[in-house]
Amino acid sequence: MLKTYRWPLLALLLLLAWDASHLDLWAMHLAGDASGFALREAWATRVLIHEGGRLLSYLAMGFIILVNLWPRLLPALTRRERVWWLVTTLVCLAVISLIKRFSLSSCPWDLVEFGGAARYVSHWMLGVSDGGGGHCFPSGHASAAFAYLAGGWALARAYPRAARSWWLTVLVLGVVYGLGQMLRGAHYPSHTMWTGWICWAVTTVAAHAGPWRLSRGGALA
């Protein structure tokens, strides 16, 4: 069992080390200054990456729903794999949204040093307001990519090459979305990293534990 979770656990340790290093603020000072973030409203970051990424997420969800409604689209998938893919993806999206709802952490563009009114407070300071609007941790936009990691697991048995391509696409898009939001001042790097790790952890647990875990053959129990 420990072998199954060794990589998520190692990633967790590295992520905690990043949080302890306070490199978030250093990274944000590379993208913005007292006048704000120059790329906040740029076409590439706001329209292409932010709005375009959201649209791509809707299309991906539509595809997963279509696979469930019309099994002939991917005939080699079992019913269990199709349903698991949809449910796990929805759970990832819901978990990120729920954490954001109760988070008091504000976005970087809300900080005094970037022209806002909030002060920097670590997202680990639970219950402590930074004086800003809050609800910025973790990155909801990054979940438009990372929440779809389940596709790789669902496709792995019947379509291994497609699974690898799916995973690569999700990872690349997650990094691009995170970078775009950092340049806009919308999220710290750690916000994106935590979204990626949470979605990875949820998907890994769903694939290997509990009543909905995937069997090696993918058959519906």
With contact defined as beta carbons under 8 Å apart, do 54 and 141 qualify? yes
Please compute the mean of the pLDDT values over residues 157-173 and round it to a whole number: 97
pLDDT in tens, 124-136: 998 999 999 999 9
pLDDT of residue 177 exceeding 70: yes
pLDDT of residue 62 exceeding 70: yes
Mean pLDDT of the chain, nearest integer: 93
With contact defined as beta carbons under 8 Å apart, do 190 and 122 qualify? no
Given this model, what pLDDT does residue 216 score?
57
pLDDT of residue 179 exceeding 80: yes
pLDDT of residue 218 exceeding 60: no
What are the C-alpha distances in Å from 20 to residues 23, 59, 86, 123?
8, 37, 35, 11
Q: Pairing mode, if any, of strands 32-33 and 36-37?
A: antiparallel
